[in-house]
Amino acid sequence: GTQDLRISSIVLSCDGILLTRNLQDFEKVPGLKIQNWSI
């Protein structure tokens, strides 16, 4: 959704890594570095 895009753009602009359990939505964003934080 809109909030996912906002979060993605912030992480990309900082060249950061997104820590999330929501891999399904964030994997669609090209160039976004994601780390799975599922337990």
Q: Give yes or no for a contact between 27 and 34, defined as CB atoms under 8 angstroms apart.
A: yes
Q: Give 39's pLDDT tier (boundaries 50, 70, 90).
A: confident
Local structure of residue 3 (DSSP, 8 states): H
pLDDT single digits (tens) 3-36 = 999 999 999 999 999 999 999 999 999 999 999 9
Report the distance separating Cα 1 and Cα 28, nearest Å. 12
pLDDT at residue 28, as a whole number:
94
pLDDT at residue 21, as a whole number:
95
pTM of the model: 0.84
* Structure-model confidence comparison of residues 28 and 39, the more confident one: 28
